[in-house]
């Protein structure tokens, strides 16, 4: 695979990740910044490092499997390795401004923090 083909495949992987939603939060996992890294090599092997919103998250086993299955279905992908990590631990501060707006977390919370609204 050429460098250009690797870059195109990586863009396709990211596009697919943007269609996968955390079932408890109506925002895709890319926008939530649950994906810490996407690497694609010249042979079509994909490595994804991701997290979930909390270590005790009910989808901690299901979401990485969905990511693996959806990315594996992309033409040109030979193998997918999904690594679940909690380092760094995900926090509300990692949300993009777009995600905060989608979740209504872009305002003044008074004595509350945005994390009080998730889990």
Q: What angle do CA 19, 45, 33 make, to 5 degrees?
A: 35
Average the pLDDT over 66-80 and give the result.
Answer: 98
Q: What does the pLDDT look like over 35-50, one tens digit per residue?
A: 999 999 999 999 999 9
Q: What angle do CA 57, 19, 80 make, to 5 degrees?
A: 75
* DSSP codes joined into one string, the chain: --HHHHHHHHHHHHHHHTT-B-TTSSSBTTTTT-EEEEEE-TTSEEEEEE--SSTT-TTTTHHHHHHHHHHHTSTT--EEEEEE--SSPP-GGGS-HHHHHHHT-SS--TT--GGGG--
Domains of the chain: 3-93 (3.30.300.130)
Q: What does the pLDDT look like over 86-101, one tens digit per residue?
A: 999 988 888 878 778 8
Global confidence as pTM:
0.84
């Amino acid at each position: 695979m050429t460098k250009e083909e690797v870059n195109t495949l990586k863009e396709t992987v990211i596009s697919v990740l943007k269609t996968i939603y955390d079932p408890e939060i109506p925002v895709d996992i890319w926008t939530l910044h649950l994906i810490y890294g996407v690497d694609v090599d010249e042979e079509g092997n994909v490595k994804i490092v991701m997290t979930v919103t909390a270590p005790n998250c009910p989808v901690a086993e299901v979401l990485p499997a969905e990511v693996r299955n959806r990315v594996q279905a992309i033409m040109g992908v030979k193998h997918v390795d999904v690594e679940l990590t909690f380092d760094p631990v995900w926090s509300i501060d990692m949300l993009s401004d777009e995600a905060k707006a989608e979740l209504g977390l872009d305002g003044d919370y008074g004595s509350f923090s945005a994390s009080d609204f998730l889990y």
